[in-house]
Amino acid sequence: MSLGADRSYKMKLRDVENAFKYRRIPYPKRSVELIALLAISCTFFLFMHTNKLNSRLKEMEVKLQPSEFSALGLTSNHVSGHDAGKHDDINTLHGTYQYLKSTGQLRRVRPIYLNNTRFAGLEVIVFNRPTRVCTEQMMPLLRQLSTMNDMNVVLNGPVRTMNRTRTEKQQETEIAWTTELESGTLYIAHSNWLDFKSFGYKKPIYLSMVRDPIDRVVHDYYKRHSRTKRQIYRRMFPGQRERPEEWYLQSFNQCVRNGSPECQFIQHSVTDYVEDFKRQSLFFCGNHLNCLPFNSPHAVQEAKSRVEKEYSVVGTWEEKNITLTVLEKYVPRFFNHARFLYKLHSNSIRNRNRNNRKPRVDPDVREMVRRNFTNEYEFYYFCKQRLYKQYLALQLEDNLR
Residue 119 within any structural domain of the chain: yes
Is 60 exceeded by the pLDDT of residue 72?
no
- CA 295, 299, 302, 308 torsion-angle sign: negative
Confidence of residue 137 (pLDDT cuts 50, 70, 90): confident
Within a domain: 96: no
Q: Which domain holds residue 206?
A: 109-400
Is residue 227 pLDDT above 60, yes or no? Answer: no
pLDDT confidence bin for 158, thresholds 50/70/90: very high
User: Does residue 337 surpass a pLDDT of 50?
Assistant: yes
0.85 exceeded by pTM = no
Residue with the bigger pLDDT between 237 and 332: it is: 332
178 is a domain residue? yes
Q: How much is the average pLDDT of 229-233?
A: 59
The alpha-helical segments, DSSP class H, found in 137-276 are 139-148, 168-179, 213-224, 227-236, 245-249, 252-257
Domain contains 333: yes
Nearest to 144 by CA among 360, 335, 377: 335
Inside any domain, residue 145? yes
| Averaged pLDDT, 397-401 | 54
Can you tell me the distance from the alpha carbon of 18 to that of 96, in angstroms, rounded to the nearest whole number?
A: 73
The total domain count for the chain is 1
Residue 294 belongs to some domain of the structure: yes
Q: Specify the CATH number for the domain of residue 379.
A: 3.40.50.300
Q: What average pLDDT does range 191-200 have in this prediction?
A: 95
Instruction: Give residue 3's pLDDT.
Output: 52
> Is residue 236's pLDDT more than 60?
no
| One-letter amino acid for residue 60 of the chain | M
Average pLDDT along the chain: 80
190 is catalytic: yes
Asked if residue 360 belongs to a domain, the reply is: yes
Between 293 and 356, the higher pLDDT residue: 293
Please check whether residue 72 lies inside any domain of the structure. Answer: no
41-45, 261-265, 322-326: least confident range: 41-45
Find the catalytic residue in 87, 190, 219, 268. Answer: 190
Cα distance between residue 329 and residue 391, in whole Å: 9
